[in-house]
Copies of this chain bind each other. A is one copy, B any other.
């Protein structure tokens, strides 16, 4: 079948090695790269190339199931998706089962292997499809299409996360077909509630910790840096959320009558928020930077090679000046530095026109993104002290806690990481980059806390996949080369 990125494998010399000359046609350039392919791999990759049509058919079957987890009307479709996956995994040789929870079922599957034990995580549930009229086609009638010069798989769940999890299933299928075994011991966990807050996940991990514990986890729900550059997320920022309400007078006041004499909670709150950053964008809360490490210079250098200028990152959102700590790159700011952000503020009269009122109270929602070993509890306590010190004696303050999770940071010198990175680099035009994520992915924290297991986050999504939106798609290249990537990674991890 046709493919936007044409490449060919050329046998050169012996059975011991292949030279793969890959020509990748991206929109802007032609990349030619020469890599050596180990003999175990070559026939598996070949098998994947030849069976792409069949793997697409399987994915389409899964995509046709309307497994919207947040809407109880689709509970049956969720179960059907779980059952279909179990059947498919059994056909490969997995010992697989649908596992009931209080909500939608989990899929758990096991396969023996000689190498390390890995746990692969994905989710079969999808987002709702509203507003339906913004879709170009039925979201549950998957099809191939051409979009912006790329061949893509269209449909809800194609990228998030059915297409992604099937890359791994297809990699296992091909390896098993060619070699009759898998290179690693593999446990698979497919969740059916990721898009609706994962209410059953923690209880399930707790109840089945023994069964699910592996040497490390592969979490496939993320993306590439760009079409040519695979990525491994090794860090996730943590989060502390706080709602702070400053209370002054016991009722709203007329600013003519009381203005100039009575405390104004908006003024007090503005002063507190303004005090949180210094003129260099650093957070001034005492102890805030405890546990924050400087990022290794080689990592910073690799990020520099990605060429993400402030213009490229901020341009699309209409900005140009990095607003965080001065003297640090955009990627360092969003991946490796903690922040204090103000997510909401309200107080007084906010309707149309004007009302000369002095409000009784004003409140703000404040969040902190954490990195490395910053302690969420200590940050929360330090913030509250910082605020209390700025409340006049005749006013008061109330706090509401909104979530707190530490950051996740995989050691940059982990052998799993370097193997996976080399394997991805072999498959794609550009070397794999170790990235981080500015936001949180709770499952990674849960694996670490509850199963004592680190995670590698590898995925093949692209920024234009429109996940959670109408017209979701997954590049055919993501699906195909994703399968090939997993074969390479499994093979590398086994060595």
Contacts and interface: CB of A to CB of B under 8 A. Distances in A.
A130 to B, nearest CB: 19
A260 B357 CA distance: 34
Nearest to A396: B318
A257 B13 CA distance: 48
A2 interface: no
Q: Which of A270, A310, A353 has the most CB of B within 10 A?
A: A270
Contacts of A338: 260
Nearest to A254: B439
Contact of A274 (B275, B320, B325, B403): B275
Contacts of A322: 261
B369 A259 contact: yes
A344 interface: yes
Chain A contact residues: over half helix, strand or loop, or mixed?
A: mixed
Interface string A238-257: 01010100001111011111
A324 B267 CA distance: 11
A267 B256 contact: no
Given A318-B249, A345-B362, A355-B344, A337 B260 contact: yes
Contacts of A346: 345-347, 350
Contact of A365 (B258, B260, B341, B348): B348
A235 interface: no
A343 B348 contact: yes
Interface stretch (A26-34, A40-48, A142-150, A387-395): A387-395
Given A348-B365, A354-B365, A394-B321, A257 B342 contact: no
A275 B273 CA distance: 12
Contact of A260 (B318, B324, B353, B356): B324
B259 A341 contact: yes
A423 to B, nearest CB: 27
A367 B354 CA distance: 9
Contacts of A250: 317-318
Interface of A: 237, 239, 241, 243, 248-251, 253-264, 266-267, 269-271, 273-275, 277, 310, 313-314, 317-325, 330, 333-334, 337-339, 341-350, 353-359, 362-365, 367, 369, 392-395, 402-403, 437-440
Given A260-B325, A270-B274, 20 more contacts: A239-B256, A243-B354, A249-B317, A253-B317, A255-B339, A256-B440, A259-B334, A259-B341, A263-B321, A264-B341, A264-B342, A266-B364, A270-B345, A271-B273, A319-B394, A343-B354, A344-B350, A344-B359, A345-B347, A354-B367
16 contacts: A251-B317, A255-B367, A256-B437, A257-B438, A258-B438, A259-B334, A264-B323, A267-B323, A341-B356, A342-B348, A343-B348, A343-B358, A344-B349, A345-B345, A345-B350, A349-B365
